[in-house]
Amino acid sequence: MFVLKFTSSAVADIKAVIPKHLKGPLRKELVRKVAPDPVSCSHGLHGQLEGYRSFTWQEYRVVYKVFDDLLVVAVVGVGLRSPQSAENVYRKLEVLAQTGQLAQGMLFSLRGFTTREV
């Protein structure tokens, strides 16, 4: 089972995009589907976001990166699923990736995790 960690950017997205009454159900869906197997319930992204995955739930899209060695899923962005919104979510994350802020956000959200010893 993977641990879900959220970057500050993802938390801000959730506050701005997800209505209050849907935050709990979204979290439950992430725990139910993403935490056990983050790859099979999502699709891989390409271009500047290669290595990231996108999970869809209702009319929302959750973008994350899987760290198999840590058993962690770092959620980096959340947005609406409409074609216009998809471009905006991905575009925002691409800008964060170009400036290094996406990596920095993930590092802050992953503090305290170390690779699991076998």
pLDDT greater than 50 at residue 118? no
Using DSSP's 3-state secondary structure scheme, residue 85 falls into helix
pLDDT greater than 80 at residue 108? no
pLDDT greater than 50 at residue 117? no
| pLDDT (tens digit per residue) in 49-60 | 899 999 999 999
Q: What is the pLDDT of residue 84?
A: 64
Per-residue DSSP letter, 18 = S
Beta bridge partners of 110: none
**3-109 CATH:** 3.30.2310.20
Beta bridge partners of 44: 53
| Comparison of pLDDT for 113 and 20, the residue scoring more | 20
pLDDT band at 116 (very low <50, low <70, confident <90, very high): very low
* CA distances, 40 to each of 24, 44, 53, 104 (Å): 22, 10, 10, 27
pLDDT greater than 60 at residue 86? no
* CA distances, 52 to each of 38, 62, 77, 99, 102 (Å): 11, 10, 10, 17, 11
